[in-house]
């Protein structure tokens, strides 16, 4: 992965002002990108393992997965180290090649789709029996949604894009390094809406 700072800034629409305000150094950022690039195949295997296990749940209709693109990872770190940004996260201030896999929780992303809204509760029980959650799963709702029975186990938040989805961060160590994977659970209809919203 050959990449200069100038190419990175241009390809990822980062302003000179944002780069100058970011708390991450280029050498550190580049090392993280190169390390993640070198582990893409390992992380794809992790994603495939998660997908296979999740697909066994009878309430899951289908599963999609991805491993974060190295440049997208680098761009995310820049955003997370901008103190003036809504995305700012102080955990990223001391990020480096040795600890980024414990700070960035979506290097591996898996999406489990189901048909009916209440299927999520059986899927939730299935997932929690297999993996440890790093934090309380977040149940994203639309404005006006009821947040009653069964939702006490989640951290309930209103999604800015207006769709419903449950987000988990699971810890695993399939090889010699601990890694966090983000698993999203939503209905096929919510998936369709998020795709339309993203395009429009």
CATH number at residue 155: 3.30.460.10
Structure tokens at 146: 């009821």
- Closest to 53 (Cα-Cα) out of 131, 106, 113: 131
Kindly give the pairing relationship between strand 132-133 and strand 165-172.
Answer: antiparallel
Other CB atoms closer than 10 Å to residue 185's CB: what's the count?
A: 26
Cα–Cα distance, 58 to 197 (Å, whole number):
29
d(CA 5, CA 78) in angstroms, rounded, equals 12
The residue that leads in pLDDT, 146 or 141, is: 141
Place of tokens 């899951």: 60
pLDDT band with cut points at 50, 70 and 90 for residue 120: very high
Q: How many domains does the chain have?
A: 1
Q: What is the extent of the structural domain holding 19?
A: 5-199
Q: What are the tokens at 135?
A: 């934090």
What tokens were used for 191? Answer: 């998936």
- pTM, two decimals, is 0.85
**Distance between terminal CA atoms of the chain?**
32
Instruction: Give tens-digit pLDDT for 35-84.
Output: 999 999 999 999 999 999 999 999 999 999 999 999 999 999 999 999 98
């Amino acid at each position: 992965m050959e990449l200069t700072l100038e190419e990175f800034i241009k390809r990822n629409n980062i302003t000179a002002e944002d780069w100058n305000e970011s708390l991450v150094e280029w050498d550190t950022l580049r090392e993280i990108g190169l390390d993640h690039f070198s582990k893409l195949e390992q992380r794809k295997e992790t994603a495939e393992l998660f997908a296979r296990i999740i697909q066994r749940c009878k309430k899951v209709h289908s599963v999609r997965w991805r491993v974060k693109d190295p440049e997208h990872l680098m761009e995310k770190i820049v955003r997370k180290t901008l103190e003036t940004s809504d995305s700012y996260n102080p955990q990223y201030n001391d990020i480096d090649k040795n600890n980024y896999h414990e700070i960035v929780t979506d290097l591996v992303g898996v999406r489990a789709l189901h048909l009916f809204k209440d299927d999520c509760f059986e899927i939730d029980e299935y997932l929690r029996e297999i993996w440890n959650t790093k934090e309380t799963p977040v149940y994203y709702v639309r404005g006006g949604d009821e947040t009653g029975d069964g939702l006490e186990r989640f951290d309930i938040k209103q999604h800015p894009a207006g769709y419903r989805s449950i987000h988990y961060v699971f810890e695993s160590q399939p090889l010699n390094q601990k890694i966090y994977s983000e698993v999203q659970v939503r209905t096929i209809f919510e998936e369709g809406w998020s795709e339309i919203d993203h395009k429009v």
